Amino acid sequence: MRKFLTYGLVLCVAASLSLTACSTGGGGGGKTTDIAILVPNADHGWTGAVLTYAQDKAKQINDAGKYTAKVISSKDAADQIAQVEDLIANKTAKQVVILPYDNTLEGSMQKLVDSKIPFIQFDRVIASVQGSAVANVKGDNQGIGIATANRFVDKDGLKPGDKILIMPGDNSSVPTMRNDGFFTTLTAKGWTDAQIKAIESTDFTGWSRATGKKLFTDWIQAKTPAEISQYKYIFTHDDEIAMGILEALQSSDIDQAKKDAFLNTGVYLATSSGLNEMYSVLKGTHQKDYTAIVAKLGDLFSVTYDPAMIQIAMQDMVDHLDGKTVSQDHVIPVQVVDATNVSQFKGFGDAVSK
């Protein structure tokens, strides 16, 4: 489900040039813009919200009149690589704020370093160039793993060696840090290296609800009811993935005996980001009515990872241009959201109500 249509974004037709993606803000028409903001297209709810927040902040910067800002989106990693290298070659921006598409951007990011163009990395941090960045702005990805492990152990009764299923996002720094925080915390709570290595993981979901739904369905269908009942802890890396699990459980794609085995186990389901749909599930107001499924879960919680953080990254670049001190390692703290406190949080995307 592509939420970006609800965010009022204007769809563009990709052209054949390297800087082809949709863009907003100042500095167009061959002019050199002060700040170029490079982000992926809205391929799921979180990136759609990032794009919207970036456009809003760019408008604020342009309206202020001191600097120009331009948002450039990319359809895939190759497109973003071309955008970075075009920007370097043609000197179309003086500074860059970038959410790297994935780790294949490493070579292009090194070229950006060599070009002496100041840059800020947001969310996905390419480790080899982070020391050269003005700032590396991200949510506390390790904190998500830490908060999840602590919740599983301290509230949900997780013991060393219990079976866990992880559903990761992609091959970037984000899932790596989330898992690192998770594993490090379990180690501190008595898990052995062998027990950590035995934790099961699906293939990368690509942050996709549809892929998460399919991977979960394939996983559960491949196991017997007795095997399924041994898994009480599932750590997904994003609310879209968790929504895919809920959709799978409400569908007819899973054998009823296996579905019953899963639901009767009292699974503890962890996720993150802050999708309004997940908050609607926690509130019991989702129009698809997941209340019967949630009632069977032992726990359901989401750890915050606010897409509005892109505006913090952009403000850091404005502050840098103004000569202010900017923290190179700018980490935004996380919080655990569940049914008891969800009313205190603002999600992103559509609020889905009955």
pLDDT digits (tens, 9 = 90+) for 75-106: 999 999 999 999 999 999 999 999 999 889 99
Q: Is residue 237 part of a domain?
A: yes
Q: Is residue 114 part of a domain?
A: yes
Say if residue 147 is in the same domain as residue 291: yes
- Burial label for 89, CB within 10 Å (0-12, 13-18, 19+), is exposed
Joined together, the tokens standing for residue 23 give: 């863009």
Q: What is the pLDDT of residue 44?
A: 65
Share of the chain above pLDDT 70, in %: 90
Mean pLDDT of the chain: 90
Q: Is residue 321 part of a domain?
A: no
- Residue 278 clears pLDDT 90, i.e. is over it: yes
Say if residue 236 is in the same domain as residue 264: yes
Say if residue 119 is in the same domain as residue 145: no
Say if residue 152 is in the same domain as residue 295: yes
- Interval 136-161 mean pLDDT: 97
Going by pLDDT thresholds of 50, 70 and 90, the confidence category of residue 10 is very low
- Gap between the Cα atoms of 63 and 51, Å rounded: 18
- Residue 11 clears pLDDT 50, i.e. is over it: no
Give 352 or 323, the one with higher predicted confidence.
323
Count of structural domains, the chain: 2
- Gap between the Cα atoms of 22 and 9, Å rounded: 10
Say if residue 238 is in the same domain as residue 286: yes
- Gap between the Cα atoms of 125 and 47, Å rounded: 16
Say if residue 156 is in the same domain as residue 54: no
- Are 95 and 321 spatial neighbours (Cβ–Cβ below 8 Å)? yes
Going by pLDDT thresholds of 50, 70 and 90, the confidence category of residue 15 is very low
Q: What is the pLDDT of residue 30?
A: 57
- Interval 279-286 mean pLDDT: 95
Q: What is the pLDDT of residue 18?
A: 33
Say if residue 249 is in the same domain as residue 207: yes
Q: What is the pLDDT of residue 46?
A: 87
Say if residue 122 is in the same domain as residue 158: no
Q: Which of 31-45, 134-148, 264-278 has the lowest mean pLDDT?
A: 31-45
- Interval 243-247 mean pLDDT: 97
- Burial label for 197, CB within 10 Å (0-12, 13-18, 19+), is exposed
Q: For residue 190, how many C-alpha atoms fall within 13 Å in the half-sphere facing its CB?
A: 8
Domain boundary among the residues 133, 149, 173 is at: 133
Say if residue 226 is in the same domain as residue 173: yes
Q: Is residue 325 part of a domain?
A: no
- For residue 9, the 8-state DSSP code is P
Say if residue 109 is in the same domain as residue 172: no
Q: What is the pLDDT of residues 297-341, one digit of tens each?
A: 999 999 999 999 999 999 999 999 999 999 999 999 999 999 999
Give 137 or 351, the one with higher predicted confidence.
137
Say if residue 19 is in the same domain as residue 80: yes
Q: Is residue 311 part of a domain?
A: no
- Gap between the Cα atoms of 48 and 188, Å rounded: 37
Domain boundary among the residues 133, 152, 186 is at: 133
Q: Is residue 351 part of a domain?
A: no
Q: What is the pLDDT of residue 14?
A: 35
Give 46 or 181, the one with higher predicted confidence.
181
Domain boundary among the residues 114, 133, 152 is at: 133
- Gap between the Cα atoms of 146 and 144, Å rounded: 5
Q: What is the pLDDT of residue 24?
A: 52
CB atoms within 10 A of CB 175: 23
Give 302's strand partners. Answer: 271, 337
Q: Is residue 350 part of a domain?
A: no
Domain extent for 9: 3-133
Say if residue 124 is in the same domain as residue 183: no
- Are 270 and 152 spatial neighbours (Cβ–Cβ below 8 Å)? yes
- Residue 28 clears pLDDT 60, i.e. is over it: no
Going by pLDDT thresholds of 50, 70 and 90, the confidence category of residue 354 is low
- Are 204 and 169 spatial neighbours (Cβ–Cβ below 8 Å)? yes
Q: Is residue 202 part of a domain?
A: yes
Going by pLDDT thresholds of 50, 70 and 90, the confidence category of residue 43 is low
- Residue 29 clears pLDDT 90, i.e. is over it: no
Q: What is the pLDDT of residue 173?
A: 84
Looking up residue 190, the CATH number of its domain turns out to be 3.40.50.2300
- Residue 107 clears pLDDT 70, i.e. is over it: yes
Give 239 or 44, the one with higher predicted confidence.
239
Q: What is the pLDDT of residue 349?
A: 83
